[in-house]
Amino acid sequence: MTENSEPTPFVTIQELTELIESFEQYRERLLNETITTAQKAKLSQKMALAKIEPELSKIEDTLLDLRTQQAALATKN
């Protein structure tokens, strides 16, 4: 069996745009819910945000990758 030379399946700019929007909404929801929960528990906002920093970093990295792919597709078309 030979390997396919295509690294990823074809994705449209529209699909990438929707995915980016979903990740941005997730990031905002995570931030808002964390801040709200910290306030209710009378925790420091700074401490609460520090706990989700690794997840926020992953989201930002993913968004950067998706935006890069989106820009590459836009320049192809």
pLDDT of residue 8: 56
1 pLDDT above the threshold of 50? no
72 pLDDT above the threshold of 80? yes
Supply φ then ψ for residue 41, to 5 degrees: -90, 0
Q: How far apart are CA 30 and CA 52, in angstroms?
A: 8
Q: How far apart are CA 60 and CA 42, in angstroms?
A: 28
Could you say which DSSP state residue 8 is in?
A: S
pLDDT band at 76 (very low <50, low <70, confident <90, very high): confident
**Global confidence as pTM:** 0.80
Q: How far apart are CA 5 and CA 2, in angstroms?
A: 9
- Which residue, 28, 32, 18, is CA-closest to 59? 28
Amino acid at 19: L
Q: What is the pLDDT of residues 4-55, one digit of tens each?
A: 555 556 889 999 999 999 999 999 999 999 999 999 999 999 999 999 999 9
